[in-house]
Amino acid sequence: MNTCVFYTLIFLYLGFAPASSAQELEGVFNRFEQLYQTQLGSTQGCQAPSLAEFSVCSAALRNDGNAPYILHHNKVTEKVIVLFHGLSDSPFFLRSIAESFHAQGYNVVVGLLPGHGLKSADADMEDPQLADRWRELVATVVDLASDLGQSEFIGGFSTGGALATEYVLQHPNKLQGLMLFSGALRLQSKAEMLANVWGMRWIAKQLDGDYVTEGRNPNKYPSVATYAAFQLVDVIMSTRELMENNNELNLPIFVAHSQADATTLIQGVKDLMAYNQGENQFFEIPQSENVCHADLVISAEQLIAMKYDMRGIEETDSCSIPKANPSHAQMLQAAISYLREH
């Protein structure tokens, strides 16, 4: 039986939604599944399905934790929030944020970017069209999600935040808000410079070699592909060009960023907020809390669910081993307040 039909029958049988609402949901679920059938080649049932969640699992993925998902209320809600993950990771990293928004009564869609969550990702991480494939996926998911909420917000973590920012700059007045978590709008100057050096992208492919996807973290690749990072730089440069060309940006924006983030520099989101004509809400984590880039979105419960393999750890870099954000609960409360106000 088709997964979407199964969900519809369950909704009707248990009385969770009238037929019309169930049919609307089925249409969205079908499109979401078809999108990822195209991207992943095939889909399959998930190991632990939930009535409040529609996930698209696949044998091509490392595990179900890497799957894209929709957290829903069996009906169109006041707001729908669309989120995208970061470079080399997966929708798992947005789980605590998505569940928090869902608990407030909103539908939440968390997309899987091309090249991510896969057992084999070497070809994707060397694809010169990868950034354009990310953009196409973002646009498709945003359009799909519009049927789930009366107003629509977009956001993301790291690279997902950069793609969300580029999207709102390219589509003024289409969405009602932007939410950034460690938004990748500025990298170290050396990284940005190298991306534009002639021949460097060919060298990046050689350095990446046969890209390895299996590592200590079942929901994240063990390293960032240099070539894919250069694709991210293209997105970042695009957002700057859009701002330099005075593309309209008049939205309520929520930003959460750590001063200690050495991967995506905080100045990038500050520049965006200075450019924005709408209201900015900034949850800035002080340097003293030493919250690393990837840790901003991790709660204590999520850290346990991550099942990071700690055996034989010898890394000395303080950011190499995942840790929970000590300000995670306060960050979520600030984000919820933002959504309530807008």
- Residue 41 pLDDT exceeds 50: yes
What is the structure's pLDDT at 24? 76
Per residue, the 3-state secondary structure of the chain, as one string, reads: CCHHHHHHHHHHHHCCCCHHHHHHHHHHHHHHHHHHHHHHCCCECCCCCECCEEECECCCECCHHHCCEEECCCCCEEEEEEEECCCCCCHHHHHHHHHHHHHCCCEEEEECCCCCCECCCHHHHCCCCHHHHHHHHHHHHHHHHHHHEEEEEEEEECHHHHHHHHHHHHCCCCCCEEEEECCCCCCCHHHHHHCCCCCHHHHHHHHHCCCCCCCCCCCCCCCCCHHHHHHHHHHHHHHHHHHHCCCCCCCCEEEEEECCCCCCCHHHHHHHHHHCCCCEEEEEECHHHCCCHHHHHCCHHHHHHHCCCCCCCCCCCCCCCCCCCCCHHHHHHHHHHHHHHC
How, if at all, do strands 177-181 and 149-157 pair?
A: parallel
253 close to 178: Cβ distance less than 8 angstroms: yes
- Residue 330 pLDDT exceeds 70: yes
Residue % of the chain over a pLDDT of 70: 93
Give the residue-averaged pLDDT of 145-166: 97
Rounded Cα gap, residues 138 and 255, in angstroms? 19
pLDDT tens digits along 134-151: 999 999 999 999 999 999
pTM: 0.93
Rounded Cα gap, residues 221 and 159, in angstroms? 15
pLDDT tens digits along 211-256: 999 999 999 999 999 999 999 999 999 999 999 998 889 999 999 9
Domain tally, the chain? 1
Phi, psi for 315 (deg, rounded to 5): -60, 145
What is the structure's pLDDT at 191? 85
pLDDT band at 5 (very low <50, low <70, confident <90, very high): very low
Mean pLDDT check: name the lowest of 35-39, 61-65, 199-203.
199-203
pLDDT band at 315 (very low <50, low <70, confident <90, very high): low
Average pLDDT, the chain: 92
pLDDT band at 18 (very low <50, low <70, confident <90, very high): very low
pLDDT tens digits along 166-175: 999 999 989 9
- Residue 126 pLDDT exceeds 80: yes
pLDDT tens digits along 45-71: 999 888 899 999 999 999 999 999 999
Q: What is the CATH number of the domain that holds 316?
A: 3.40.50.1820
What is the biggest distance separating any 2 CA atoms in the chain, rounded to whole angstroms?
61
What is the structure's pLDDT at 104? 98
- Residue 322 pLDDT exceeds 60: yes
Residue-number span of the structural domain to which 101 is assigned: 3-341
53 close to 70: Cβ distance less than 8 angstroms: yes
Q: Among 8-17, 53-62, 191-200, name the most confident range.
A: 53-62
What is the structure's pLDDT at 23? 76
pLDDT tens digits along 268-286: 999 999 999 999 999 999 9
Give the residue-averaged pLDDT of 79-106: 98
